[in-house]
Structures are given as C-alpha cells and as structure tokens.
Amino acid sequence: MTKGSQPDDRRPVLIYGAGQTGQQLAAALWQDDKLRPAAFVDDAPRLRGLEITGLRVHGADDIDTLVERHGIGRIVLAMPSATEATRTRITRRLARTGCEVHALPSFAELITGKALTPYDSRPIDPATILGRDALENELPGVTSAYAGRRILVTGAGGSIGAEICRQLVTCAPASLVLLDHGEHALFQIERELREMAEGVEIVPVLGSVCEAALVNVLMSARKIDVVLHAAAYKHVSMVELNAIEGMRNNVIGTRTVARAARAAGVERFILVSTDKAVRPTSVMGASKRFAEMIVQDLATRSPGTRFSMVRFGNVVGSSGSVIPIFAEQIARGGPITLTDPDVTRYFMTIPEAVRLVLLAGTFARGGDVFVLDMGAPIKVRNIALRMIEAAGLALRDADNPDGDIEIAITGLRPGEKLHEELLIGSDMLSTPHPRILRAQEGHLPRRELSEALDALSEAIETRNVALLRRILDKWIEHTEPEGAPAGA
C-alpha cells in the first residue's frame, strides 16, 4: 500500500536503520516511481513500535516475517555512522534472507571512494593480521648505497620485484632496468615507475632470465652495477605440477643471471630466496636451494662481484599468499580453506621484505645468507581468525553454528611442510642492524655442484621428471612432508 491507502505496484524496500539517514532515504523513496519503503527495522528498543515518516519500526527478529508479508526483495542498511565491523556483520545476516542487500554509505565515504571498495580489495592492516607492528620503520634507509647506480631487477613485475623497484626509485639511481617475461606485469610497473621517478631512466626489457644471450648483452650494454634477482616461480603446488619449468626458471635462470653478472663485473648481486629452501620437501623449495648453492659457489671465486642472498618467509599481500586468498574467500561468504589446523609460517610485509633485500646488498661481504629476526612463526589458523574478526564476522564451527565463516581443513598438499625453517645450520652472526642476522652455511663443493647442475640440465632438456626427482633426492638435503607415508 502507499503512504495513504491506494494500491501500489512499486517494489517494496525494507530499511534497516530508522535514524536520520534512514528517514531521509524513506522520504526520498516515497517520491520514487519504482521503489517504495515498506517498513523500518532498528536495533534500538526505544524505537520499536513507533511510526516514523509513515513507516512502523520493527525489531531485527521481525525481518523474516516482514520479507514474507511485504514481498520484499531488497533491504537497505542505512547506518553509515556504525562501525565497519557492525555494518559488515549486519549485512551478512541480512543476506541470509535471500534479498538483495545494500549498505548506504556515509557522505564522507562517497567523497573518498571508500564506499566503492569491496572487502577483498581493502587495505589489510599488518599489525591486526600478524599481531605485531610492522618492522620497516626499524630498518635504516639505504638511499646512499643505490644513488647514482645502474640497477637491474629481474622479475620486476612480480609482487616483490615491483616493490623493490618502487623503493629503489626513491634512492635516485642513474637507471633502473626492469626484466620480466610477463608483458602485462612489465607494462604495469613501468607505467607506475615513470609517474614516480622523474630523472631516473626506466628501461623495461621483455624476456626470460633463462635467455643467456639477452642477459649477457643487457649486463654489458647497460653497464649494470647492482643486480637484484627476484625472478622465480614460487607457488609450491604449481611448481610441483610443473617441475621441469620450475627448475628451468629458478635454477638455470639464476645460474644464467649470476654468471652474466660475474662476467660483466657487476659490483653486487642479491638473490631473493625463501624459507622453503631450507631442507625442502617441495620441488619449488629444492629449486631455490639449488639457486642458493649457485650463488654461494660463485661467491667463493668472484673477487670482483659480491654475491649474497636474502631468505624470508611468507610475504603478506604477495600474489598467491594466504592473505589475499583468505580475503577473497571471506568476501564470498566462506569457507576459508586451511591445509592443517597446526600449520605455521613466518610472515612479513612486502615493505619489510624489500627493505631487508636492499639492506642485504649494503651489508654483503660475499656468500652471505641474510635473514630477518621475525620472532616466532605464526599459526595460519590464527591469521584466518583475525581476518574473520577484522571483517566484522564470526567463526562458524561446532561451538557457534550460527557464525558467518567456516574454516575447512583440506590437508597438506604435495610438497608442503607443516612448519617452515629459516636456517639450515645454527651458526648466526650479527650485522650492523640488530634485526638482521647473517647465517654461515655450507654448500656443495664446486665439482659436485657442477655434476649436479649438468645432470639437472639433462633432465630439463629431455623433460625427464623421474631423473629430475632422483637428482633432487641425491643432491638436496631434504625432509619428508609431515604425515607422508614411508616412501612417499
């Protein structure tokens, strides 16, 4: 019915929130020719039963009855002054009615554009998710070490590579050469850097780190001073399924770039590595350990180039990390998929990881393995719980069957560890900064490494996965995945 008593064929709308915003919405809808306000719902007991702008105010318990009685297909949440968590929680609850649910933003949100941002693309507060303050402010600047230098960044379009480039342009290098085999990623970072870096020569190069001719010409023609090697296939499950290409890119690519750096007389070479290289259970981890050993070997016989590497854990916000995956799953209403309730990982933010990489280049003496003191590893389940809470939602489990988001346990995937490690040995040395440590680790003797790499090259060129896995079993110190049957 209309505000009076005439039949009305406009679509009925239920308004959640009978405050000033809700009243203004109702007044506007009374004049609309397609929609009409049907009733108010409000959580304030003092308003229930009242009639405001011609509409009765009901409690939240009446929503299902109102939807059925009025044939409501759309509910508008008109509570812009409520906290984001409160509005998200109410919106999720309203969605269970099967109606379209819209949250009316405040005027400030409309001006800033925040109202147009979906949950899974909102900035994630690392302190909230990780349970600690970010560390990048504790790390000193590195401007002087890179100012006026000619720098090559491989994998420049990736999550880490792109952030390395962003931080480097603030150091005023003479030139920044971006190498990536992904055209779109390279285009994006080049465009971003040109807007950021007036006076810095930006050189995008489309190609693979495995192309020796390209890499050698690039090093010499551009007179590169510093190489930051971030190019790698890093997703454990994907590399496990594509072992040949994973090893080609991560191992042969690293050897190609490192050899070219030595031949060109590059001053510094920094490899971006991972905690998965420590006693690896996956092909990806083994490929990164091989890459580390290549760099360690070259460091022993390259007096003109200082080779070093940086090893860290999972990076919050990088492509494929659990944070954006969990955010997407929460945005879809769940469930969050977790491999094991006890799985732990070391976490750091992208700025922390990159600052560590850049600092390592200034501390390097040759063959160093740098790690960041990140404290204790974090349970991934706790990350999921914090993200659910930050979204204003509740965990749905046996103790709370009416919760919003369920956590589903899927089991460890092939190659995954229950717990990661940052160090192969226990010998640690200090550096000029207390949060950065230098590990002294052994590696294969040169002759054995050469034999292993020759065999690996044969396996790659013949695409012999069985041979490749035998090589990894022979030359890489590893552990069996937790829970794997004997001989798996």
One DSSP character per residue, 311-336 reads: EE-EEETSTT-HHHHHHHHHHTT-PE
Give the HSE-up count for residue 275: Cα atoms under 13 Å, Cβ half-sphere: 23
Give the lowest-confidence range in 79-93, 128-142, 266-280. 128-142
Predicted local distance difference test score (pLDDT) of residue 317: 59
Residue 228: closest CA among 360, 122, 120 = 360
Higher per-residue confidence, 117 vs 185: 185
Residues 155, 164: Cα–Cα separation, whole Å: 10
Q: Quick one: CA dihedral 335, 341, 345, 347, positive or negative?
A: positive
Residues 154, 317: Cα–Cα separation, whole Å: 20
Q: Quote the percentage of the chain above a pLDDT of 90.
A: 40
Residues 443, 342: Cα–Cα separation, whole Å: 31
Give the lowest-confidence range in 214-228, 273-287, 325-339, 474-488. 474-488
Residue 154 and residue 178 in contact, taking contact as beta carbons nearer than 8 Å: no
Cα distances (Å, whole numbers) of residue 40 to 59, 62, 80, 107: 8, 10, 15, 21
Predicted local distance difference test score (pLDDT) of residue 426: 57
446 pLDDT higher than 60: yes
> Three-state DSSP class for 430?
strand
Predicted local distance difference test score (pLDDT) of residue 471: 92
Residues 125, 127: Cα–Cα separation, whole Å: 6
Burial class (CB in 10 A: 0-12, 13-18, 19+), 265: middle
Residues 276, 23: Cα–Cα separation, whole Å: 57
Q: Please give the helix or strand (H or E) that residue 273 lies within, else none.
A: strand 268-274
Predicted local distance difference test score (pLDDT) of residue 112: 47
Q: CA-based angle 434:440:444, to the nearest 5?
A: 155
Give the HSE-up count for residue 86: Cα atoms under 13 Å, Cβ half-sphere: 10
Token pair recorded at residue 96: 């269970």
Predicted local distance difference test score (pLDDT) of residue 387: 83
Q: Where are the beta strands (DSSP E) in 305-451?
A: 306-312, 314-316, 336-338, 344-345, 347-349, 368-372, 378-379, 395-396, 405-409, 428-430, 436-439
Residues 369, 357: Cα–Cα separation, whole Å: 11
Give the HSE-up count for residue 237: Cα atoms under 13 Å, Cβ half-sphere: 6
Residue 215: closest CA among 159, 157, 264 = 264
Give the lowest-confidence range in 17-21, 380-384, 417-421. 417-421
Higher per-residue confidence, 91 vs 245: 245
**pLDDT average, residue stretch 62-86:** 86
Alpha-carbon torsion angle 177, 181, 187, 191, nearest 10? -20
Residue 237 and residue 415 in contact, taking contact as beta carbons nearer than 8 Å: yes
Write out pLDDT tens, residues 257-298.
999 999 999 999 999 998 888 888 889 999 999 999 999 999
92 pLDDT higher than 80: no
Predicted local distance difference test score (pLDDT) of residue 288: 93
Token pair recorded at residue 325: 């995956």
Token pair recorded at residue 66: 């109102």
Residue 382 and residue 238 in contact, taking contact as beta carbons nearer than 8 Å: no
Predicted local distance difference test score (pLDDT) of residue 126: 56
Predicted local distance difference test score (pLDDT) of residue 55: 93
Residue 383 and residue 373 in contact, taking contact as beta carbons nearer than 8 Å: no
Residues 168, 131: Cα–Cα separation, whole Å: 28
Which DSSP state fits 200? Answer: -
Predicted local distance difference test score (pLDDT) of residue 124: 53
Residue 370's DSSP bridge partners are 310, 438
Predicted local distance difference test score (pLDDT) of residue 252: 96
3-state helix, strand, coil in the chain (%, to 5): 40, 20, 40
413 pLDDT higher than 70: yes
Write out pLDDT tens, residues 220-256.
999 999 999 999 998 888 999 999 999 999 999 999 9
Q: Which amino acid is at 215?
A: V
**pLDDT level of residue 362 (50, 70, 90 thresholds):** confident
193 pLDDT higher than 50: yes
Q: Enumerate domains of the chain plus CATH numbers.
A: 11-117 (3.40.50.720), 231-475 (3.40.50.720)
Predicted local distance difference test score (pLDDT) of residue 342: 87
Predicted local distance difference test score (pLDDT) of residue 125: 56
Token pair recorded at residue 8: 């009305």
**pLDDT average, residue stretch 461-480:** 84
Residue 443's DSSP bridge partners are none
Token pair recorded at residue 61: 């318990």
Phi, psi of 131, rounded to the nearest 5 degrees: 75, 20
Alpha-carbon torsion angle 126, 129, 131, 137, nearest 10? 0
Q: Quote the percentage of the chain above a pLDDT of 70.
A: 81
Q: Where are the beta strands (DSSP E) in 195-257?
A: 201-206, 226-229
**pLDDT average, residue stretch 413-430:** 63
- Average pLDDT taken over every residue of the chain: 82
**pLDDT average, residue stretch 103-119:** 53
Predicted local distance difference test score (pLDDT) of residue 328: 79
Residues 116, 114: Cα–Cα separation, whole Å: 5
Predicted local distance difference test score (pLDDT) of residue 39: 95
**pLDDT level of residue 116 (50, 70, 90 thresholds):** very low
**pLDDT level of residue 445 (50, 70, 90 thresholds):** confident
**pLDDT average, residue stretch 155-167:** 91
**pLDDT average, residue stretch 409-428:** 67
Write out pLDDT tens, residues 299-318.
888 888 999 888 877 666 56
Q: Quick one: CA dihedral 267, 369, 270, 264, positive or negative?
A: positive
Residue with tokens 């999921």: 384
